[in-house]
Chains A and B, each alone.
Chain A
Amino acid sequence: MSDIKVRAKLEGNETVVKCLMNHPMETGLRKDSKTNELVPAHFIQEVICKWKDQVVLTAAWSGGVSKNPYLSFKFIGGAVGDPVEVSWKDNKGESQTETSQIA
């Protein structure tokens, strides 16, 4: 199961998309309080949001985005039932994808 939650809702002619991703978002600058060693960087670098086959938003992130990132965006033209796909890729090359329908 994917760790991304995607909710897309039609409000008038705008589709409002809200997503939550499960990710530690380590900057690589934080020290472990017990071992006093730097925690290696592990964060999402790229998020691609698609409506049908069209890329609506491409986000590039640093480790400065909070743990378990939240992202919301809006676009015009969506209809109820259209697929919205959100996928991310992190600095270790891991990735996840989730698709949801506009409600």
Chain B
Amino acid sequence: MIDATRRILLKGSLAAGSVGVAVAAGLLTPRLVLAEWNAAAFESKDVSAALKGLLGSDAMETNDAVVVKAPDIAENGAVVPVTVETTLSDISYIAIIASGNATPLVASFALGAAAMPFVSTRIKMGKTADVVAVVKQGDKLFSNAKNVKVTIGGCGG
């Protein structure tokens, strides 16, 4: 009886110890431990996997009520101003995707009750591509896109 308990304790502490070692060795980066940040979605290399990870689905409808404002030609891909706005009501999420980037999901915004469906920011674009805005209304996704021509890529390299 005493032996059995001792064995369990030992096993437990060994298991805990190995997690600690993994963290110390950099096998588990602290990034993966952060619960709020959706690493799977943001590190995903394709748009549909990113959307599924972030919003639970990639089934979206193109809707002209979603307005994406971005320049036609961005001389500097490191700073591309993007504004997303919609006349649709009850929007809970807005996501901005640069479809040509290595990791396309750039930003997501969870809107509180008082927020209007409007966000404006500046993003990096690696090459000429569509900037896609996805908004979530209830459990439906609506999107629209704007092509931005990038003359100098902004993702380094």
Contact = CB atoms under 8 A, between A and B. Distances in A.
Contact of A74 (B30, B34, B108, B116): B116
A65 B105 contact: no
Interface residues of B, number: 40
B121 A65 contact: yes
Contacts of B36: 45-46, 60
A61 B38 contact: no
Contacts, number: 122
A41 B120 CA distance: 24
Nearest to B157: A31
Interface of B: 30-31, 34, 36-38, 42-43, 78-81, 83, 98, 101-103, 105-116, 118-124, 154-157
22 contacts: A27-B156, A30-B157, A46-B36, A55-B112, A56-B111, A57-B115, A58-B109, A60-B37, A66-B79, A66-B122, A66-B124, A67-B79, A70-B81, A73-B109, A73-B119, A74-B115, A74-B118, A75-B114, A76-B116, A91-B30, A91-B34, A93-B30
